[in-house]
Chain A
Amino acid sequence: MAEEKDNKLSSYLERLKQQAATQQHYGGDITPEEAKMDMRDCPACGAGRAFEKGLTSCAYCGFVFMDIKLTDGVNIKKENNS
């Protein structure tokens, strides 16, 4: 009787642990990613993005990268508007 109960408890625990370890989590697994560097060239004229002319439009052909007004955020500031 006591043995049966112990078995039940340990099989419950084993099952719970197994389920916790193997079940899929909402949003999926988080795959660790390395830091990386990238760049968005101007899709209109192919030029790189120049700092002096701001982030919102292309310094060379005027293509609008982002049709918004940047405010003072964390690293991006008002001055970064084109």
Chain B
Amino acid sequence: MFGFFNKKYDNPALLEEMKTRQERWFAFLDKLEARMQELTTAAIPGLREIFDQDADPYKRAHSNMLQGLLGQINHMRQKANDIKDEQIIDFVYQAEAMVPAVTSTVGRDYHNRIMNFRMACLNRHYIFDEKLNKCIQRLQLAAGERDLERAYQEQLRAFESIRDKFSCRQCGGNITIEKMFFIDTYVTCPFCHSQNTFSPSTGARMILHDARALAEQRTAHLRRAYEKSDPREPELEKVYLRAMIDEWNKIIPDMAEENEKFYQRLLREQYFHHFK
């Protein structure tokens, strides 16, 4: 009526600022992406080498190196997040406060432009984040899985080769270790019935430590089948859990009773998660 709502609003400086800001943001993320890809690609051979050479049963040297690399990648994530907050999000708020109300025609036009700017910048950030997660995954998987089956079979063979090589500390009689032990235990001499203390090798102890991980490796196909089902199929999870516990019990029969109790708990929890 008064031509008020059609009053011309023009802010070329803002448009120019959005254009250059978006370009700078894209260029900034391009550079960060290039750097993290470079870092990841360059780091992988060394990461593998450390893993293969690391004699520590817990592979702590490899773990420290991996943590350091992930630290740098996450530092880049942090850097991008900080810039996004300061240079994109804050800017969007300021720009929105500056232009006419969204209820006016020109206002709507400018708000749309700001929204487009915001969406373009955030989408670009989303792509950056996806790429960053890929790098993390590549680093985590670089060394491959530990071959726990081979380590286990080696220990079985080692045990077979030593099981009848012990003698009683009291009478000197030959003692054959009846089964593989994973912790210190008392062994009775078949001749004088004295109680000896048997201490398993470090390798045998590690079998106990790695037993669940080995059982999981052996049943990974069942876990994948469950994870692929959509919607997730509780029966498939049950099949996986049962098989995993069975394998675990085969590796450490001494812990079967305890593992069974743990399995019962997992089942109760599964029931809770799927049917709550």
Contact = CB atoms under 8 A, between A and B. Distances in A.
Contact, chains A and B (beta carbon distance below 8 A)? yes
A5 to B, nearest CB: 8
24 contacts: A10-B42, A16-B65, A17-B50, A19-B64, A20-B50, A20-B62, A20-B64, A25-B61, A30-B202, A32-B201, A32-B203, A33-B199, A33-B202, A35-B159, A35-B198, A37-B167, A37-B175, A37-B199, A38-B196, A49-B194, A50-B194, A50-B195, A51-B193, A55-B195
B43 interface: yes
B83 to A, nearest CB: 20
Contacts of B186: 55, 75-76, 80
Given A20-B64, A32-B201, A32-B202, A39 B195 contact: yes
Interface stretch (B9-17, B52-60, B111-119, B237-245): B52-60
A49 B197 CA distance: 10
A75 B46 contact: no
Interface residues of A, number: 32
Contact of A37 (B38, B50, B169, B192): B169
A35 B176 CA distance: 13
A43 interface: no
Interface string B68-92: 1100000000000000000000000
A20 B169 contact: no
A4 interface: no
B127 interface: no
A76 B185 contact: yes
Contact of B46 (A13, A48, A49): A13
Interface in A29-82: 29-40, 48-52, 55, 74-76, 80
A38 B202 contact: no
Interface centre among A17, A20, A31 (most CB of B within 10 A): A20
Given A10-B42, A55-B186, A74-B254, A21 B50 contact: yes
Contacts of A33: 199, 201-202
B42 A9 contact: yes
B142 interface: no
A36 B181 CA distance: 12
Nearest to B47: A17
Contacts of A21: 50, 53-54, 61
B262 interface: no
Contacts of B169: 37-39, 48
A20 B69 CA distance: 11
Interface string A1-29: 00000000110010011011101010001
